[in-house]
Amino acid sequence: MAAEIHSRPQSARPVLLNKIEGHSDSVNSAVLIPKEDGVITVSEDRTIRVWLKRDSGQYWPSIYHTVSSPCSCMSYHHDSRRIFIGQDNGAVVEFLISEDFNKMNHVKTYPAHQNRVSDMVFSLESEWVVSTGHDKSVSWMCTQSGSMLGRHYCNALASCLQYDHETQHAFVGDYSGQVTLLKLEKQTYSTITTLKGHEGSVGALWWDPVQRLLFSGASDHSIIMWDIGGRKGRTLLLQGHHERVQALRYLQLTRQLVSCSADGGIAVWNMDTQREEAPQWLDSDSCQKCEQPFFWNIKQMWDTKTLGLRQHHCRKCGKAVCGKCSSKRSTFPIMGFEFPVRVCDACFETIKEEDRTPLATFHEGKHNIAHMDMDPSRGLMVTCGSDRIVKIWDMTQVVGCSLATGFSPR
């Protein structure tokens, strides 16, 4: 079922500890069981499995439960051992896991959505299960009565969710690239704001309630940090992935962001440093450097008897420039550009060598990563995806979890 790869880290990179195999279809979610050598997985093959590590070092399923519809997501609350499973048919199913993780009993089934459940959060404080679905809705249901408390419809398929348990605010990412902030109440809700910045569907969200920062990752390969607590609209752009970003986790103690993409890329971003906002792109009918017309500027093209040029933008100053005036490429990590991007010739001259010092590290997961979970106290990470494989990683040498929390690496 599982192979033990390494017992301890070898270098400053993620170290693959175990690989769990056995699912017959995509693994859509995997979570580490706190204080246990265990992993819970849910899959498109309609199974919920609890894997415990045996004396041999391998993981074997102690619970193997099949449900009526493919499992799309889950929310596990360890202290109460309650687990909520989102399904392709729109239902959310609640189970209670026994103390020895060998048995699981059905508690309730919630008719949450008319289509696939994309994400969900269980809040013990309010006894709510909040979920998003491909029916374009966000629903919140009472886990005591099983009744629907409220529903909000988005303009696009709702893809991911984060929830602030203290203030009952929900952050909903959707396929249009927007993130909607809702204030949920019993029987009602209010829309606070809509965050717009991505050019592709939002695939992952992470909310840090301590610093009040929201991170969003999207199919445009980018990550945006939204400073919600600062109330000034400050955003930071992070670009380093080459495929859609599908998982995020912010480590508050070390001030690092871990992100995973569909091509298996694992990035660790240093957020404990001075960063600058990327500029807004400016609009112009001609190059803001050499004043040559762009190809839609018919009047200037006629007056000057010249052919129009294609418009580009300098990533450092945001000015609209032609290809000749922006022939240089450079990294600029302080603005989040970890790989070379287009800059105008004037800005290129201002970038010093120390300005190119990376503020993120990049690693290969070597499998499609659809979901990721971390246990910072042990420095562990679990990834899963469409290749049906679950991988458990030691991240202590990459993120310094053990130093920050006082725990020793496994």
Which range is least confidently modeled, 10-14, 64-68, 312-316, 350-354?
A: 10-14
Give residue-wise pLDDT tens across range 8-58: 333 589 999 999 999 999 999 999 999 999 999 999 999 999 999 999 999
What pLDDT is stored for residue 301 in this prediction? 81
Both tokens of 205, joined, read 């969200």
Residue 385 near residue 42 (C-beta atoms within 8 A): no
Q: Using CA atoms, how far apart are residues 104 and 83, in angstroms rounded to an integer?
A: 9
What pLDDT is stored for residue 391 in this prediction? 97
Question: CA–CA distance from 201 to each of 57, 111, 249, 341 (Å)?
Answer: 39, 26, 18, 22
Q: Which residue has the higher pLDDT, 186 or 219?
A: 219
Long-range contacts of 351-354 (CB under 8 A, 24+ apart): 351/316
Residue 6 has pLDDT above 50, yes or no: no
Residue 200 has pLDDT above 80, yes or no: yes
Single-letter code of the amino acid located at 293: P
Largest separation between any pair of C-alpha atoms in the chain: 82
Residue with tokens 């990035």: 267
Sign of CA dihedral 1, 248, 243, 381: negative
Give residue-wise pLDDT tens across range 130-185: 999 999 999 999 999 999 999 999 999 999 999 999 999 999 999 999 999 999 99
Give residue-wise pLDDT tens across range 272-300: 998 999 998 998 999 988 988 888 878 87
Q: Does domain 15-277+358-394 correspond to CATH entry 2.130.10.10?
A: yes
Q: Using CA atoms, how far apart are residues 176 and 166, in angstroms rounded to an integer?
A: 28
User: Alpha-carbon Rg of the chain, whole angstroms?
Assistant: 23
Sign of CA dihedral 386, 387, 390, 395: negative
Residue 174 near residue 159 (C-beta atoms within 8 A): yes
Residue with tokens 């909520």: 84
Q: Using CA atoms, how far apart are residues 34 and 152, in angstroms rounded to an integer?
A: 33
Non-local CB neighbours of 226 within 8 Å, separated by 6+ positions? 179, 195, 197, 213, 214, 215, 216, 234, 235
pLDDT band, very low/low/confident/very high, at 88 (cuts 50, 70, 90): very high
Q: Using CA atoms, how far apart are residues 95 and 15, in angstroms rounded to an integer?
A: 33
Q: Which residue has the higher pLDDT, 10 or 376?
A: 376
For the domain spanning 298-356, the CATH number is 3.30.40.10
- Within the chain, all domains assigned CATH 3.30.40.10 are found at 298-356
Q: Using CA atoms, how far apart are residues 315 and 85, in angstroms rounded to an integer?
A: 42
Buried b (16+ CB within 10 A) or exposed e, 348-374: beebeeeeeeebbbbbebebbbbbbbb
pLDDT band, very low/low/confident/very high, at 304 (cuts 50, 70, 90): confident
Residue with tokens 């992100």: 259
Both tokens of 314, joined, read 């300098």
Helices (H), 244-368: 298-304, 345-350
Average pLDDT over residues 226-247: 91
What pLDDT is stored for residue 397 in this prediction? 86
pLDDT band, very low/low/confident/very high, at 187 (cuts 50, 70, 90): confident
pTM of the model: 0.89
Residue 259 has pLDDT above 90, yes or no: yes
- Within the chain, all domains assigned CATH 2.130.10.10 are found at 15-277+358-394
Smallest CA-to-CA distance from 375 within 388, 397, 392 is with 392
Average pLDDT, the chain: 91
Intra-chain end-to-end CA distance of the chain, in Å: 21
* pLDDT over 70 percentage in the chain: 95
Strand arrangement of the beta sheet that strand 71-77 belongs to = 71-77, 82-87, 92-97, 104-110
pLDDT band, very low/low/confident/very high, at 405 (cuts 50, 70, 90): very low
Average pLDDT over residues 53-73: 95
